[in-house]
Amino acid sequence: MIGPILRGGAIGGRARQALVRVLVGGHGRPLGAFILLVFLLASLAPAPPLISDLQFVLFDAYQRLAPRKPTSAHAVIVAIDQKSLEQLGQWPWPRTVMAELIRALGKIGPAAIGVDVLMPEPDRMSPGSLAVVVERLDPQLSRRLAKLPSNDSVLAEALAHHPVALGVAGAAELESGVRSAGRAAPFRVYGVDPKPRLRTFAGALRSLEQLDAAASGHGLISVDPGEGIIRSVPMFASVDGVLTPALSLETLRLASGNNGFSVTADRRGVRDIRIGDLVLPTDEDGSIWVHFSPHDPARFLSAVDVIRERVDPKWIERKIVLIGATGLGLLDYKSTPLGEQIPGVEIHAQILEGIFEHSLLRRPDFLRWFERALMAACGVLLIVAIPMVKPRWSAVIFVGIMTALSVLGFALYYWKQLLLSIVLPAGATNVLFGVMLSGTLIEADRQRRALRSALDAERVAAAHAAGELEAARRIQMGMLPPPSAAFYGDRRFSLQALIEPAQSVGGDLYDFFKLGDDRLFFMVGDVAGKGLPASIFMALSKALYKSAALRSRPEDGTAIGEVMRAANDEIARDNPEMLFVTVVAGILDLKSGELHWCNAGHDSPFCLRPGRITPAKLEGEAGPPLCVVEAYAYRPQRYRLLPGEALCLFTDGVTEAMNAAGELYGRQRLLSALNSLGGFAEPLQVVNTIRDDVRAFVLSAERSDDLAILVLRWNGDEL
């Protein structure tokens, strides 16, 4: 981008020269070093949302490429699933059913039970509640029901006899039903107070006070503080100033038999949380990155099967059991980096599996410094190497760096469970590569221009020594575009051109270039006269005509007439020798094959159509040559080419070529040469056929006029 801007004049005068000096000075290395320094300083600031989003995409890609493969079965989910709802009734169940479930689990002997279900209101199916309903219908039954214990009491008794942790939902605001504080396992803090860095809740929605008091532990079930994909989960948070663990962590504490937690924090945030001898490193906000495995139905047991003792005790005995709802309409599924949606209770189970397997993902502080070191190393390599090597090797270095960064990031994830972000190193590499390569190319272009100037000076000296005409011929030929348009890489057309001056220099000319993506301009002209004057006027005519064409509107096919008129005015303005030039020019729509062309006193082209052996003359009104009639309104002609049809444009150096006997080559012989091609041929073949036939006709006779040929074939828009 930088090179074209500089060449295009978007930055002008002294500002452009100053920018060139900045880019080129020291081969662009000072500028590269400055940009690298800016990236390094920016990496010290908090990442903006765009960088964070790109990092999340990168980390998600790691997990999708190689999800965790479970090697433990320490967490089992007892699901309140569709099967349980069909056999035990709709949700919410009477608390006596939940008590049955707790007792059934307790009978098998799990290490601990975590309940990912909130029960904040009294059970409407309790005997006391039913007594009020049936009091008018049967007072005696109502009194008997009132004497029975409530369903909540039954569940509370079951909770009290087993190691159960009840779920607690954090609330951002204190509303109805939300308590400002509640029971939680004690935390011992080493270092500074971690609360300012933690996820904070104003209060919590907890189960009924009677149930809450009976439970052995309480843990947060708020796994997603924001929206979208679950990537990390807070292991503990501040609820009204009280440190409260996540449900998974609290269940693990009950299973281990510890009375509380230990937290280590410093001025940068939380470092780790401990349960007995277990040390769990966390991010600064007390969260951990979950290493997800695909959803696995083998983690789940149906609640009804547990209650009715239809499960093998080995699936539950001495394991952590999580109770959660998975039935239709009972919960919101959570999205994971694997592109799946899983029940929230399964996220707690996967956290516990990651803890047991030591496979939780980590992004410690030293990784951020390592990323900066990588960025600096890649930047220094580019700054040093790119000015020293050729552009192709620069690309190899760039691709090698990007590949190495990608492989390193994935390798650390796969083997070390470390989340290395290559976003900033890769971004800096891309920017530096572009800047350094631009600086190198600008420097190379500057040197090339200097070399070209030196060569031009040598050519001038050689022209004085070997003849001014030979030097003029080289200059003239150098002004023309390459004889083939293959460099465009556009398969919709093929083009071949040829020019042979009768003397060292001549007055014939051709030109072609694209106007936008879908239009091609072409022309062939012949200046009246030969030799050096004609060549000078030819150069002037070509330049002014191209300028007029480039100022036209390519979307308007009729612009060719206006181009011809403008070129006539421009060329005739400074013409003291009263020279004139014949021209045929056109604009071809490469999508439709529609041709708009104009003739200024030149021989009409021939059309070579597939399936038609005899070429046809392209008929149309011709105006006077340029520089003959001032402000003449040239009329554009229209013709639609068929796929494979070709135009053959030529100067009178073909038809007026003369042999030793004084005979002219003529249009009839030209038609015969074109007939021999059979109506379909490659442009190069057409040009060579005409050239060779003219040479065979002229033989050793002196060339009487310049010769120019241009063949354009439209191949169709369906390629």
Residue ranges covered by each domain of the chain: 2-66+363-449, 75-357, 469-714
Tokens 């919960």 — which residue? 331
Q: What is the mean pLDDT of the chain?
A: 84
Closest-CA residue to 42 (of 454, 340, 300, 368): 368
Structure tokens given for 432: 């530096």
Question: What number of other Cβ atoms are within 10 A of residue 478's Cβ?
Answer: 8
CATH of domain 469-714: 3.60.40.10
488-542 pLDDT tens trace: 888 899 999 998 887 666 678 888 888 888 899 999 988 877 766 777 777 777 8
Give the model's pLDDT for residue 656.
85
Give the model's pLDDT for residue 6.
43
Structure tokens given for 278: 């277990």
- The secondary structure of the chain in percent helix, strand, coil, rounded to multiples of 5, reads 45, 20, 35
Task: Reply yes or no on whether the pLDDT at 566 is more than 80.
Answer: yes
Question: What number of other Cβ atoms are within 10 A of residue 464's Cβ?
Answer: 10
Structure tokens given for 315: 């699936």
Give the model's pLDDT for residue 450.
82
Which range of 63-67, 148-152, 211-215 scores highest in mean pLDDT? It is 63-67
AA identity, residue 175: E
DSSP secondary-structure letter at 702?
P
| CA dihedral over 175, 178, 179, 182, signed as positive or negative | negative
DSSP secondary-structure letter at 7?
H
Least confident of 150-159, 333-342, 546-555: 546-555
The average pLDDT across 72-85 equals: 85
Tell me the CB-side half-sphere exposure of residue 219, using CA atoms within 13 A: 31
**Pairwise pLDDT comparison (20 vs 412), residue with the higher score:** 412
290-328 pLDDT tens trace: 999 998 888 899 999 999 989 999 988 899 999 988 866
The average pLDDT across 154-172 equals: 88
DSSP secondary-structure letter at 618?
-
Could you give the CA distance from residue 194 to residue 269 in angstroms, rounded to a whole number? 6
Task: Reply yes or no on whether the pLDDT at 5 is more than 80.
Answer: no
The average pLDDT across 218-227 equals: 70
230-286 pLDDT tens trace: 999 999 998 888 899 999 999 999 999 999 999 999 998 999 999 989 999 999 999
Give the model's pLDDT for residue 400.
93
Task: Reply yes or no on whether the pLDDT at 122 is more than 80.
Answer: yes
Task: Reply yes or no on whether the pLDDT at 384 is more than 60.
Answer: yes
Give the model's pLDDT for residue 4.
46
**Pairwise pLDDT comparison (314 vs 461), residue with the higher score:** 314
Question: What number of other Cβ atoms are within 10 A of residue 677's Cβ?
Answer: 18
Bridging pattern class, strands 594-600 and 203-205:
unpaired
- Whether the model clears a pTM of 0.85, i.e. scores above it, the answer is no
- In the chain, DSSP finds a helix count (H) and a strand count (E) of 22, 30
Closest-CA residue to 552 (of 515, 598, 510): 515
pLDDT band, residue 190 (cuts 50/70/90): very high
Structure tokens given for 428: 């800096």
Give the model's pLDDT for residue 332.
65
Give the model's pLDDT for residue 7.
47
